[in-house]
Amino acid sequence: TISNAVIILEVTDDFTYAIPVIATTLAARFTGDIFNKGLYSSYVDLLNISYLDSHKRFLTALRASDIMESPPIVFREVESVQKLTEILSTTSANGFPVIRAGKGTFQ
């Protein structure tokens, strides 16, 4: 990219062709991006290396109240095994808020 063009200009020590070299480098970069992805991305896919994609925001318009049951199924910090098994056997949910006893605040 631009750094390659600058390196070429520094090595040759001739800035007469600075604009054509930079323009050619950018044109080559954009042309290459149109036809395929970058070398390192292709290499990662070829070797089946797992990596995290860029962070994508999903469900930004939803609030917790839009998808939670009303009233919510909650657990206290200390809960009986009987209540745990009863709730887990009657619901398909797999995440529950935990509240502090007496305060009613969520953790």
Tell me if 101 sits within 8 A of 93, measured CB to CB: no
The pLDDT value recorded for residue 104 is: 57
The pLDDT value recorded for residue 82 is: 93
Residue ranges in the chain whose pLDDT is less than 50 = none
All structural domains of the chain with their residue ranges: 2-46, 68-99
Taking the whole predicted model, whether its pTM rises above 0.75 is answered as no
The pLDDT value recorded for residue 55 is: 66
